[in-house]
C-alpha cells in the first residue's frame, strides 16, 4: 500500500527517535516525512497541499463534554483562523466578533479528537428566527439526502481522505469511507436529535448516496460523536468531535490506523460556516464558509476535485 521508501523513512524516524530520543532535538519532526520524494509525489497526485499540514500527536484523553480548555489540549496541535483560510462565500469576515475560532487536534490511541472554540456574534436559530433561504424551504429536513441542507446554520464541515497515500488519486466525489468522507456538524440540528439539538448530519444532495449512507453509519455506530458547550453571554460556542480510529481511520482497504502502525499521512480539510441574519445572506447561502485547505478547484467543474491538507497520525507525543 505504501511505497517501500515511504515505509523505510517512517520506520527510520521512529527508530532514530527510539535510539537517540527526540527530546531536545529541534531539527527532527514527524513532518519531515513531507520532504520524502515519494510523499511529495503521492500528495501532488491526490491534490494535497504540502503547505497545509498538522500533526495529530498522541495525547491524554480529554473530558468529552464540549468544554474546551487550553490545559486539556496543551498536548494537541493548535490552529486558528487567519488570512490563509480560504473564504468560499462572497462576504469577507468582518471582524473577530463576526467570526473567529481556535481549534485543536490530537488522538488518544482509541479516538481522534477535534476541538473548536468559536466566536460568532449571532447564533443562527438561537439569536435569530429560524429563517429559511427562499430557494431551500425544506433546508431543515434532517435525515433526507435530497431535501435537507445540513450545512445551513452555524456549522463545521469535516473532510477526511484517509486512504490518500494508499490510492494517490484526486477525489471528485466522496464515498464516505477511506476514499474520502464529508460530514457536517450543525449547532442547531442533528440527525439523531432533530431540530434544536446540535450534532452531526450526513452531507446533503451535493454528495453521493454512498457518502450519505456511510455518514449515517458513522453517526449511528458512534464512529463520530460530538459534544457542544454554548457560552451565550460571550457569543461563543465550543465543540468537541471524536472519531474512532478503528472504524474511522481507514488507511488501506479495511485497514485502520492504530498507534502500533508507522506514522501515516491522511488527507484532511475543515470548514467553519456562519449564518447570521437574513440580511447578511442576500443569496440565501451561508454568510461565511472558510476552509483550512481550500475548496473545490475552479479549473475542474466536471469532477469537482477537492483540495486537501495533510494530517499526520503519529504515536509520538508533543513535547
Ligand atoms: Ca457571525
Ligand atoms: Ca452565526
Q: What is the pLDDT of residues 239-276, one digit of tens each?
A: 999 999 999 999 999 999 999 999 999 999 999 999 99
| Distance (Å, whole) CA 63 – CA 238 | 13
Mean pLDDT across the chain: 91
* pLDDT exceeds cutoff 90 at 304: no
Task: Report how far residue 267's alpha carbon sits from residue 315's, in angstroms, rounded to the nearest whole number.
Answer: 18
State in Å: Cα 129 to ligand 1 middle: 15
pLDDT at 142: 93
Q: Mean of the pLDDT values across residues 145-154?
A: 95
Residue 297 confidence (pLDDT):
75
Neighbours of 254 (CB within 10 A): 7
Higher-pLDDT residue of 75 and 12 is 75
Q: Is the pLDDT of residue 15 over 70?
A: no
Ligand nearest to the CA of 124: 2
Predicted confidence (pLDDT) at residue 21 exceeds the cutoff of 50: no
Q: What band does 301 get if pLDDT is binned at 50, 70 and 90?
A: confident
Q: Mean pLDDT throughout 10-22? A: 43
At 119 the pLDDT is 98
**Strand duo 308-313 + 48-56: pairing:** parallel
**Where do the domains of the chain lie, and which CATH numbers do they carry?**
4-313 (2.60.40.1190)
Examine the pLDDT at 48 and tell me if it is beyond 70. yes
pLDDT at 4 over 70: no
Average pLDDT over residues 185-197: 98
Q: How close is the Cα of 201 to the center of ligand 2, in Å?
A: 18
Positive or negative, the Cα torsion across 127, 79, 113, 205? positive
Query: Beta-strand (E) ranges in the chain?
Result: 48-56, 77-80, 86-87, 99-107, 111-120, 155-161, 181-186, 189-190, 194-195, 199-202, 224-231, 236-244, 250-252, 255-256, 264-274, 288-291, 308-313
Which is more confidently placed, 95 or 25?
A: 95
- φ, ψ at 182 (rounded to 5°): -135, 120
d(CA 188, CA 140): 10
Nearest bound ligand to the CA of residue 237: 2
What is the 127 CA–ligand 2 centroid distance (Å)? 9
> Distance between CA atoms of 42 and 44, rounded to whole angstroms?
5
Is residue 19 over pLDDT 90?
no
| 206-224 pLDDT tens trace | 889 999 999 999 999 999 9
Please name which ligand lies nearest the alpha carbon of 153. 2
- Answer yes or no: is pLDDT of 22 > 70: no
pLDDT tier at 28, thresholds 50, 70, 90? confident
Task: Give me the pLDDT at residue 26, please.
Answer: 59
CA distances in angstroms from 92 to 101, 238, 275, 277, listed in the order given: 15, 23, 13, 15
Q: Give the Å distance between the CA of 197 and the centre of ligand 1.
A: 20
Tell me how far the alpha carbon of residue 89 lies from the centroid of ligand 2, in angstroms.
14
Q: What is the arithmetic mean of pLDDT over 41-60?
A: 96
Give the tens place of pLDDT for each residue, 84-98.
999 999 999 999 999
Please report how the helices 4-20 and 37-45 are oriented relative to each other, as an axis angle in degrees rounded to 10.
130
Residue of higher predicted confidence among 282 and 161: 161
Cα separations in angstroms, 106 against 56, 75, 88, 306: 4, 8, 27, 24
Q: Is the confidence at residue 3, as pLDDT, over 90?
A: no
For residue 165, the Cα-to-chain-centroid distance in whole angstroms is 18
Give pLDDT, residue 25.
52
Rounded distance between C-alpha atoms, residue 119 and residue 235, angstroms: 6
Amino acid at each position: 500500500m505504501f511505497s517501500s521508501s515511504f515505509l523505510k523513512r517512517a520506520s527510520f524516524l521512529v527508530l532514530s527517535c527510539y535510539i537517540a530520543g527526540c527530546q531536545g532535538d529541534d531539527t527532527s519532526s514527524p513532518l519531515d516525512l513531507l520532504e520524502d520524494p515519494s510523499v511529495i509525489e503521492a500528495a501532488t497526485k491526490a491534490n494535497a497541499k504540502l503547505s497545509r499540514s498538522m500533526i495529530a500527536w498522541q495525547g491524554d484523553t480529554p473530558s468529552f463534554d464540549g468544554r474546551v480548555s487550553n490545559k486539556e489540549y496543551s498536548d494537541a496541535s493548535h490552529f486558528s483562523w487567519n488570512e490563509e483560510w480560504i473564504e468560499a462565500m462572497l462576504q469577507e469576515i468582518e471582524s473577530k466578533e463576526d467570526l473567529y475560532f481556535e481549534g485543536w487536534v490530537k488522538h488518544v490511541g482509541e479516538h481522534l479528537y477535534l476541538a473548536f472554540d468559536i466566536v460568532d456574534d449571532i447564533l443562527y436559530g438561537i439569536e435569530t428566527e429560524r429563517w429559511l433561504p427562499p430557494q431551500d424551504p425544506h433546508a431543515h429536513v434532517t435525515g433526507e439526502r435530497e431535501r435537507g441542507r445540513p450545512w445551513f446554520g452555524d456549522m463545521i464541515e469535516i473532510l477526511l481522505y484517509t486512504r490518500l497515500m494508499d490510492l494517490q488519486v484526486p477525489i471528485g466525489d466522496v464515498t464516505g469511507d477511506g476514499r474520502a468522507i464529508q460530514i457536517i456538524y450543525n449547532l442547531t440540528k442533528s440527525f439523531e436529535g432533530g431540530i434544536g439539538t446540535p450534532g452531526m448530519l450526513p452531507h446533503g444532495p451535493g454528495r453521493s448516496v454512498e457518502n450519505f449512507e456511510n455518514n449515517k453509519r458513522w453517526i449511528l455506530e458512534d464512529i463520530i460523536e460530538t459534544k457542544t458547550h454554548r457560552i451565550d453571554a460571550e457569543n461563543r460556542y465550543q465543540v468537541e468531535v471524536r472519531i474512532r480510529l478503528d472504524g474511522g481511520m481507514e488507511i488501506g482497504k479495511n485497514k485502520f490506523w492504530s498507534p502500533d502502525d508507522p506514522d501515516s499521512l491522511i488527507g484532511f480539510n475543515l470548514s467553519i460556516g456562519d449564518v447570521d441574519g437574513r440580511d447578511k445572506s442576500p443569496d440565501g447561502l451561508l454568510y461565511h464558509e472558510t476552509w483550512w485547505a481550500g475548496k473545490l478547484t475552479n479549473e475542474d467543474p466536471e469532477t469537482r476535485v477537492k483540495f486537501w491538507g495533510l494530517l499526520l497520525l503519529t504515536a509520538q507525543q508533543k513535547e
